[in-house]
Amino acid sequence: MQKRLIGRSGLEVSALGLGCMGLSYGYGPATNKQDAINLIRAAFDKGVTFFDTAEAYGPFINEEVLGEALAPFRNEVVIATKFGFKEGNTMLGMDSRPENIRAVADASLKRLRTDVIDLFYQHRVDPAVPIEDVAGTVKDLIREGKVKHFGLSEAGVETIRKAHAVQPVAALQSEYSLWWREPEAQILPTLEELGIGFVPFSPLGKGFLTGKIDNSTTFDKTDFRTIVPRFSEENRKANQVLVDLLGKLANDRQATSAQIALAWLLAQKTWIVPIPGTTKLHRLEENIGAAAITLGEADLNEINSAFSAIPVQGDRYPAHLQKRVGN
């Protein structure tokens, strides 16, 4: 697979990474441990060198699985993980106090079976802790050799600039896809100016852009999408027109909907590295196939024109979670 540099950080990774959250958390019951390990190793065998996890995924289980899976070839991959929640539990609220950041770093190193974290993100901006203190703490961890690069997730422009002034931010991880394009207004220009890479999560719209979800789909009670307004039965029905359109565009190009959605993201900027997640080997292979698809200017114009004419229905987060993003 082709490689990409994440901004001006010097961090080189595969053009597509693997978001590992869904193997342990967020989308229903956790995947069998050995099956998860097998999938992660299959991704590496197929050229993926960028793997994304967090202490909060489980909590803790995802890091442990990833650490075991990547142990045989640790020096050939880039591992990103995250800090910022009390006790690693998203339900308990945020905690980016310097002492907690340090504690998470030490615990994550053990779970990941490594002596350094390649990319250490603040999972969500903590309004109780100045971002300068957060960046300063990660700067110290970098100086101590425990962390290589600093990242932010779902942060707003002002926070990005303040953090970057203390410790250069290598990457911002936020949602971005054909059905969530808000980052194009302010985030992408800021990242380009500062030389920060962009790592879109949910590049397939939490599965919706694959065309495998419709208004009759039922989700497991532990699936995060049960509380997402955009995934209400009514909104899924209304948004089906987007999926149908993407399916037609993909069919015209002899590709799948997921592949075109990912290829579109890759075509936006050379420093964008999407991290689609999956629990299925055939979906992994399908997603990786997107890296070989080149969309020309005419393709992009057709896709952009078609999608801009259709408004997406429903918010991407319920109100209590929306408060945690864009700060």
Pairing verdict, β 197-201 and 169-175: parallel
Separation between Cα atoms, residue 36 and residue 221, nearest integer Å: 21
Q: Which two tokens stand for residue 114?
A: 């490594």
Neighbours of 291 (CB within 10 A): 21
Phi-psi region of 254 (alpha: psi -120 to 50; beta: other; left: phi over 0): left
Indicate the residue type of 92: L
* Cis preceding linkage at 59, omega within 30: yes
Candidate list 25, 27, 57, 121, residue with the active-site label: 57
Q: CB-based burial of residue 128 (10 Å sphere; 0-12 exposed, 13-18 middle, 19+ buried)?
A: exposed
Pairing verdict, β 3-5 and 12-14: antiparallel
Question: Residue 34 to residues 13, 23, 38: CA-CA distances in angstroms?
Answer: 25, 11, 6
57 is catalytic: yes
CA dihedral for 191, 210, 34, 88, sign (positive or negative): positive
Q: Are 121 and 82 in contact (CB under 8 A)?
A: yes
Separation between Cα atoms, residue 37 and residue 15, nearest integer Å: 21
Question: Which parts of the chain fold into alpha helices (H)?
Answer: 33-45, 61-70, 98-111, 131-143, 157-166, 187-194, 233-252, 257-268, 281-289, 297-308, 319-322
Separation between Cα atoms, residue 7 and residue 196, nearest integer Å: 4
Residues that are catalytic: 57
